[in-house]
Amino acid sequence: MMMHTMTDITQKRRKVSLVIPAYNEGRGLLRLREALQPLMDNNMRLTDDGREVGVYDYEVVIVNDGSRDDTLEVLRGLHAADDRFCYVSLSRNFGKEAAMLAGLDYATGDCAVILDADLQHPVDAIPRMIAEWEAGYDDVYGRRATRGRESWLRKRMSLAYYRLLQSASTIDVLPNVGDFRLLDRRCIDAVRSLRETQRYSKGLFAWIGYRKKDVEFLTADRAEGMSSFSYMRLFNLAVEGITSHSTAPLRIASVLGFITAFASFLYLIFTVVRTLIYGDPVAGYPTLISVILLLGGLQLCAIGIVGEYIGRIFMETKRRPVYIADIYNDRKI
């Protein structure tokens, strides 16, 4: 008994950081606090498959990603009421990818759980993630059992995209896996060491490796407001995913070029031989035009692909920081 209390006193509790990017989430944040309260008070220690997780210190790092609503005021209030709620406010909207990195930079925990501010990532799944972390996994990611209220087209496109991404790159980016995940301190530091400005976090999480484990969860519908990811934004993210983790499009361009060149060469020999044997009746204007147009189109495509990569080189060579933090816990930085 004596020994037990001794270790209780001497052994420091481990800390779990909850990293939450927030863009125009003023209304949702209060509901989020309510949802997190039982977890943070260690009143949610049983997982739904009956395992018990340890007692932890909790810290919440909310990143205000240049919100236009009252998010910052709400965060000030949360921090004043409970200093386990920390916040970082970025100088403008840098996007969710940058906001997540900012959160990881400011998280001090032994592990961090990244979750959305809109309650689409259920807090009930977190004890299960922690249980897997205790079991020795470094990167425990949430896998959506269903995708919630989403249009048929969006679902289809997303699945097709992951199939494409998987075949284009060497890393394993999984479908139905988002940014909801628990990262061990080693993974946090690994992700933090990747300072590229054109970020595609799902790819980065896959790239760092470590022991991974999935935890299934049900996506809830957004609690407040609207999704800020339009089709256009998703398309840009999709291009980002492919170009930042694979050079396959460049290879496809060269392969296409090689095939056309080879085919034209064969055709050239064929034409020469035919002309020698049968003479040269001039014809084939339509064929000529179609071939010129086809090749012109292919060339423009290839230049476009090369351009995508050059654009990325251009952005990265500027070596700009991924985000600029403006305020940390009421202090200007």
Q: Where does this chain bind Mg ion (CB under 5 A)? A: 116, 118, 120
User: Contact between 131 and ligand UDP (CB under 6 A)?
Assistant: no
33 binds, among ligand UDP, Mg ion, none (CB under 5 to 8 A by kind): none
Radius of gyration of the chain (CA): 26
User: Contact between 26 and ligand UDP (CB under 6 A)?
Assistant: no
Strand order in the sheet with 212-217: 212-217, 139-144, 177-184, 111-114, 15-22, 57-64, 85-90, 325-328, 331-332
Tokens 């249980």 belong to: 131
Residues near ligand UDP (CB under 6 A), total: 17
What's the token pair of residue 148?
Answer: 């919630």
Cβ contacts of residue 148 below 8 Å, gap of 6+?
Answer: 120, 218, 219, 220, 221
- State the nearest-atom distance from the C-beta of 154 to Mg ion, in Å: 13
- State the nearest-atom distance from the C-beta of 116 to Mg ion, in Å: 5
Report the 10 Å Cβ neighbour count for 112. Answer: 27
Stretch that binds ligand UDP, among 21-29, 30-38, 122-130, 162-170 (CB under 6 A): 21-29
Q: How wide is the angle at C-alpha 201 spanned by C-alphas 196 and 207, nearest 5°?
A: 85
User: Contact between 56 and ligand UDP (CB under 6 A)?
Assistant: no
Binding to ligand UDP in span 145-204, by CB under 6 A? none
25 binds, among ligand UDP, Mg ion, none (CB under 5 to 8 A by kind): ligand UDP
Binding to ligand UDP in span 208-247, by CB under 6 A? 222, 227-229
Residue among 39, 62, 87, 95 that touches ligand UDP (CB under 6 A) = 95
